[in-house]
Amino acid sequence: MKKYLIMGLVILIGTNIMVLAGVSYNRMGDAKAQLTLTERELLLPYRTNAQQENSGISLTINWRTPTHNNESYSPYQSKDITLSKDELLALGFQIINEHDNYWVESKELYWALEFDGALYQAEITKATEKYNSVLADFEEQQNDGNKRIEKRWRENLAREKTSNSRLFFIEAAAHYQTLASKFINQPNILIVKGLTKHFHNKNHQTYNLRLSQLSVSNIMVPFTYADVFSGLLRLNREDIPTPRYALKINWGNRLEPWVIDAQKLP
């Protein structure tokens, strides 16, 4: 019994040492990226109150895919992207047919995300164009149906300007350096790791990449900043708030994030 207890303690201590070594390595030297994100990109957890326990708060990173160039604005975007056969092979995948879709394993790739840049401005432009279109229809024919449509798209535009995430997926690569070289000296570009799964779309005869989730999809906020979140509740999708907090975050050698500052917003 004593032998197994000692073995258990050795394993536990060894695991903790490895975890601490990984954290230390991640934060060694200059950060790979630094961004100041707000509630738009960092969502509160689903619980009654963000200040219910004496531990750190875990915020979910909220990212999006942009509306395609040839599409009109939609507030709900799929996280599937279409790739050519050559692009799929370059990412290290093997070509499959639709019968193999259910057997494909997830693959970790490097993702480039753009924060508050051209992609976000394009979304505002498209949302504005969409709203102007439905507003013109409403002014031409003012009935209850058009009134409801006008209200819905007016609120969609307001959310795009004040509360929707400004963190957009740009592209994926098999190697970090591919993205680092392409987006060098662009401080609003974040390179992270994400899980993906490819599949064959038999209806359109295309290859698609499903952007499943970020490898590190949550950021733990130290208890030091707990007062910033005191009394805050996670908002509903229907709300159109202005952000209530902002966090300065570094991403290190392992492309993992940590909080270096947090503050309430007026």
pTM recorded for the entire structure:
0.87
Tell me the Ramachandran region of residue 185: left when phi exceeds 0, alpha when psi lies from -120 to 50, beta otherwise: left
Note the pLDDT of residue 113: 98
The answer to whether the CB of 56 falls within 8 A of the CB of 258 is no
Residues 210-260: tens digit of each pLDDT: 999 999 999 999 999 999 999 898 888 788 889 999 999 999 999 999 999
pLDDT grade, residue 25 (50/70/90)? confident
Residue 123 pLDDT > 70, yes or no? yes
Q: Please write the tens of the pLDDT for every residue from 128-175.
A: 999 999 999 999 999 999 999 999 999 999 999 999 999 999 999 999
- Helix-strand-coil split of the chain, %, nearest 5: 35, 30, 35
Query: What's the average model confidence in pLDDT over 26-36?
Result: 89
77 token code pair: 């975007």
Alpha helices in 92-237 (DSSP H): 118-140, 144-162, 176-182
* pLDDT value, residue 254: 96
Q: What is the pLDDT of residue 66?
A: 95
Report whether pLDDT(18) > 80: no
CA distances, 232 to each of 46, 140, 235, 238, 259 (Å) = 11, 43, 9, 17, 19
More confident site: 30 or 116:
116
Q: What element of type H or E holds 19?
A: helix 2-26
